């Protein structure tokens, strides 16, 4: 009996979807570690323990851009890998539901803590938006690279007062940054997601994909980062309450002593 080399639901000539790629989990875990360190320094300033200038200092601006670029680029890569072997509707909407709940909780909690600068369109809101819109781009290849670069350039160079309207600020292109604790607008940041989609497709088509997909590190740090990368949303939601709580308890203990 002749064996079939492809699954019935896989298109002929399309690359098979890889399993969980530790390399990308490591990259996401590395981004998580950078984010936790960044927010710890932010919390130190919040409690008056440092004088870091997060709004103007080039180091902190570059650090934020690097962390966001890692996260959003991996969103694009993950979209391509997750749909390469077929679209799992249940898994997709489960993830989308968790993202929507996390984004809503972020907005509500920030409104309670920072009523004048609450988060209306931060990184989770953009990831949620990109996870929906990005499905239309997962089958594209070089066009994603071109569109991504164009969106980034537009977001960095074009401004118009019409986008300063509160209902349009989420798109970017504003003449002045709105007062909010986390602002990750569509332009330029959606461009990073599309470039990530290009890189994901490049990975699937590359000759060294089997080597990278099969690579595993048993180093304890690598395993910890990969674990963090697999649970990035949970860590994102919990790390700030934990950090601020520990700092508050530590300061209270020092003052009482």
56-68, pLDDT tens digit by residue?
A: 999 999 999 999 9
d(CA 257, CA 252): 9
Residue with tokens 């088509």: 205
Question: How far, in whole angstroms, is CA 214 from its chain's centroid?
Answer: 24
What was the pLDDT predicted at 14?
42
95-134, pLDDT tens digit by residue?
A: 999 999 999 999 999 999 889 999 999 999 999 999 999 9
Q: Do residues 146 and 157 lie in contact, with contact meaning Cβ atoms separated by under 8 Å?
A: no
What was the pLDDT predicted at 148?
98
Q: Do residues 27 and 74 lie in contact, with contact meaning Cβ atoms separated by under 8 Å?
A: yes
Structure tokens at 101: 């709940």
Question: How far, in whole angstroms, is CA 148 from its chain's centroid?
Answer: 15
What was the pLDDT predicted at 254?
82
What was the pLDDT predicted at 253?
84
Q: Do residues 184 and 121 lie in contact, with contact meaning Cβ atoms separated by under 8 Å?
A: yes
0.85 surpassed by pTM: yes
What is the residue-averaged pLDDT of the chain? 90
The mean pLDDT value for 11-32 works out to 75
Residues 6 or more apart whose Cβ sits within 8 Å of residue 220: none
239-252, pLDDT tens digit by residue?
A: 999 999 999 998 88
Residue-wise DSSP of 110-171: HHHH-TTS--SB-HHHHHHHHHHHGGGGTT-SHHHHHHHHHHHHHHHH---GGGGSTTTGGG
d(CA 65, CA 67): 6
The mean pLDDT value for 152-180 works out to 95
Residue 121 backbone phi and psi in degrees, to 5: -155, 80
Domain boundaries, the chain: 85-215
């Amino acid at each position: 009996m002749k064996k079939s080399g492809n699954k019935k639901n896989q298109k002929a000539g399309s690359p098979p979807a890889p399993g969980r790629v530790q390399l990308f989990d490591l990259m996401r875990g590395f981004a998580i570690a950078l984010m936790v360190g960044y927010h710890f320094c932010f919390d130190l300033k919040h409690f008056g323990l440092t004088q870091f200038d997060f709004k103007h200092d080039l180091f902190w601006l570059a650090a934020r851009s690097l962390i966001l670029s890692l996260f959003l680029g991996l969103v694009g890569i993950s979209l391509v890998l997750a749909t390469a072997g077929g679209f799992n509707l249940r898994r997709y909407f489960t993830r989308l539901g968790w993202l929507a709940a996390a984004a809503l909780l972020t907005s509500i909690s920030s409104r309670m803590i920072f009523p004048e600068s609450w988060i209306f369109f931060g990184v989770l809101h953009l990831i949620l938006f990109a996870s929906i819109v990005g499905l239309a781009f997962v089958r594209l290849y070089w066009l994603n690279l071109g569109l991504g670069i164009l969106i980034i350039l537009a977001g960095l160079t074009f401004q118009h007062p019409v986008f300063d309207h509160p209902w349009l600020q989420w798109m970017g292109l504003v003449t002045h940054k709105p007062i909010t604790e986390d602002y990750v607008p569509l332009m330029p940041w959606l461009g990073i997601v599309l470039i990530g989609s290009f890189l994901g497709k490049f990975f699937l088509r590359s000759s060294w994909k089997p080597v990278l997909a099969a690579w595993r590190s048993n180093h304890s740090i690598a395993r910890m980062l990969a674990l963090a990368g697999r649970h990035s949303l949970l860590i994102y939601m919990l790390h700030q309450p934990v950090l601020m709580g520990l700092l508050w308890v530590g300061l209270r203990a020092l003052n009482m002593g």
